[in-house]
Amino acid sequence: MKHMTEEELIAYREGVADQGALISKHLAACEECRTELERIEAVLAALDTLPVPDPGLDYGRRMWREIAPRLAEKPGRWWHVWTEPRRLAAAGLIVALIVAAFVAGRITRPGKTSDNIANKEQVRERVLVVAVGEHLGHSESMLVELSNAAPNDPAQKEVNIATEQRRAEDLLQENRLYRQTALQEGDTGLASVLDELERVLLDVAHSPGQVTPAQLEAIQKKIEGRGILFKVRVVNKELQQRQEATKPAPAQNDATSRERNKV
Amino acid sequence: MNRMQPSVDSTQAIAESDAIAVERTLTGDRDAYRVLVERHSHNVFRLAYRMTGNRHDAEEVVQEAFLRGYQKLGQFVGRSNFGTWVYRIAANYAIDRMRQRQKEEARREEPRTEDRDGMENDPLNRVADGAPTPERLTQSIELRKQMEQALAALSDAERTAFVMRHWEGCGIEEIAEVLKSSSNATKNTVFRAVQKLRRALQPFVETRAQARAMGTES
């Protein structure tokens, strides 16, 4: 008797076999193939026990709250894509980069193409560095406030963190934009820290506005455990250094050249 | 397969109600889209979690899928049903996210902390016949780790094909469309995925089964 191949048995098990009826007939008569199929099924059954976390009964409502502010008035028109706040911010960033690059091109001396390119890149980097630095500063201050939050009196059953939660929601959208931009720019170190920050922001944004002291402590431990405040501070410091390093040369050269031209 | 299979009647009723919500959304009733988001979020989340393997990325995939769905809703009219359509958008975005994540992981110096989402609800850690013995718990945790690693070792296409076929019960044509591949090539991808998972996991699954049979776990 010709036995079924592994490929035929897997296809049969997954319901994509071309000759399902034929395989069924063979399995009814062949113990060896049945055993082989059972071994495949045992692996798949083990995989079926892998859990998927329950996002919660209100997940649909939460999702709507998150995306609703980003939807245009009417769907389906291509230009509407650019009217959502996140895209507008990206568009603003791109326009700023183009204008800055144009201005950089105008003020640099003609004829030195490599200098021009370098200057344009510096300007692009400066715009990103300043924007992300500001974002990290806001994130840091929100996380510090949350880390220091405590019930006013020991008998208090709930602590209000609604302000931090709303700030985290706003910061989350910005963070995603900056992380994607950093990745596009090839700045993987920055993208990596923004990715970690995003996980913390996601946790805070999804917390209830009123938390018990125990829940608050759990959030604070998560922030502390991930060392995110330290990482944010380090990256922000680095960004400031990069900002200094990419600052355009002082106007001294222009003044000197003007003086020279007078002669 | 453990995709919930509603009855034909309820599937049709949902599809009709979805079609009405889509029409209303297209006429400018933004709240009609809310119905669609609230109805399909859980299913899209489950798909996204199984594809990406972590909650953080899964939530981003769900958000992006519904945003893209809204932006492209004009292209949807007259095609399949909304649930299937948004599913496909999510699967496509999840593939992009997995690729992006792999690049990030490759560049990151320190190994990524394992995502423990759902550990507390892990059925492998729950024992029907009494409290887990340390041996049983160790074996369960080890098997779960092996399963996560085996899934992570699949290529993006293999993981997508496996998740969509085995767990979500999607048709081969639907998966082929996401993978931009032919039906035969997609069937082959499903086969390769199961074969790789089998090679990686069979020894662990059989050791566990033998231990149970010999009663060393009870």
Residue of A nearest to B109 (CA): A189
Give the DSSP letter of residue B113: P
ipTM of the complex: 0.79
Integer Cα distance of A30 and A5 in angstroms: 13
Phi, psi of A208 (to 5 degrees): -70, 160
Higher pLDDT, B130 or B157: B157
Q: How many CB atoms lie within 10 A of CB A55?
A: 20
Interface probe, candidates A6, A7, A14, A86, chain B, greatest B C-beta count within 10 A: A14
Tell me what the pLDDT averaged over chain A comes to.
78
Residue B131 makes CB contacts below 8 A (sequence gap 6+) with none
Integer Cα distance of A163 and A146 in angstroms: 10
Tens digits of per-residue pLDDT, B3-30? 445 566 666 677 777 888 898 998 888 8
Q: What is the DSSP string of B61-74?
A: HHHHHHHHHHHTHH
Interface probe, candidates B70, B77, B104, B201, chain A, greatest A C-beta count within 10 A: B70
User: Residue A81's pLDDT is what?
Assistant: 47
Residues of B in Cβ contact (< 8 Å) with A46:
143, 147, 201, 204-205, 208
Nearest Cβ partner of B63 from A10, A66, A74?
A: A66
Tens digits of per-residue pLDDT, B162-176? 999 999 999 999 999
Residue of A nearest to B49 (CA): A52
CA distance A201 to chain B (A): 10
Residues of B in Cβ contact (< 8 Å) with A50:
144, 147-148, 151
CA distances from A221 to A181, A202, A214, B118, B212 (A): 30, 15, 10, 19, 39
The whole-number average pLDDT for the span B152-158 is: 94
Higher pLDDT, A146 or A47: A47
Tell me what the pLDDT averaged over chain B comes to.
82
Nearest Cβ partner of B49 from A11, A53, A81?
A: A53
Q: How many CB atoms lie within 10 A of CB B177?
A: 18
Per-residue pLDDT band for A242 (boundaries 50, 70, 90) equals confident
Integer Cα distance of A79 and A77 in angstroms: 6
Tens digits of per-residue pLDDT, A244-262? 776 665 555 544 444 444 4
The answer to whether B104 contacts A75, with C-beta atoms less than 8 Å apart, is: no
Which helix (H) or strand (E) is A96 found in, with range? helix A85-107
pTM score? 0.61
Cα A78 to chain centroid, rounded: 24
